[in-house]
Structure 1
């Protein structure tokens, strides 16, 4: 029961980078892994209309229990706004750690480091979530900016499934058309 509640929490953690926007942008193209359940997510209510694209894919077990979640969020950035990508990722990482801490879990995250997301230079961090010293979940946050668009790819899952899904994750990341 505790595992299911914390995994539900992971599903909610992937929608951080909501920067006010004014312009329209083309939606990203994602090729999700075969067999994953895909859902378009509604735009969050904000004071100003923002162009936000969110899509999530969930890998379930035979009984329908979520084992792994991947979510991509694209937010149109207000003209002239400079996104502090490292600062945004630090705040996202703190949020993950606080949320799991409230649930009685411990988490350790890697240093933020350079990576790529599709063709873009990006920053990434991965958090290992433990319960009583046992590794139960992992979550990776990847953020990139391309002109007037900011992207966050978040993926999380039960420890064993996360490890087993690395090839699928690599394929999604490299096939993204941002």
Structure 2
């Protein structure tokens, strides 16, 4: 099943939402605290240890690390032709000088059954368009949730700071 899922993601060019989430929160953080975002990598690191991250960004005081922990789909146990898309992401604010995590939170989406849950073909047809749309819904919600939880940065705060 893992191989099938990985092939589905690759063949349908489904992007990992963690990059979008990290960029969304970083933009809000920069606006609220008058910080400069230096760069944003789109290639995941092979090691998420604090030492590796700090070494990769020696010119930065802080690194906002966003990482997809899980993304998968599965049928509901009591509704075999109805599927759910599950997603979880972790966000960490890392001080590169002290090599410490200043803030960390997890956002997860694991929907309960609903009558409009997609069938397997609805989920996978059209180049995975349903999955792509749903992942963006999750990414927007998780960006808002993590920005608020970890950094106290909200869309409303951002609007009040921007003149």
TM-score by length of 1: 0.29
Higher helix share: 2
Structure whose alpha-carbon radius of gyration is higher: 2
More strand by share: 1
Q: TM-score, normalization: structure 2?
A: 0.31
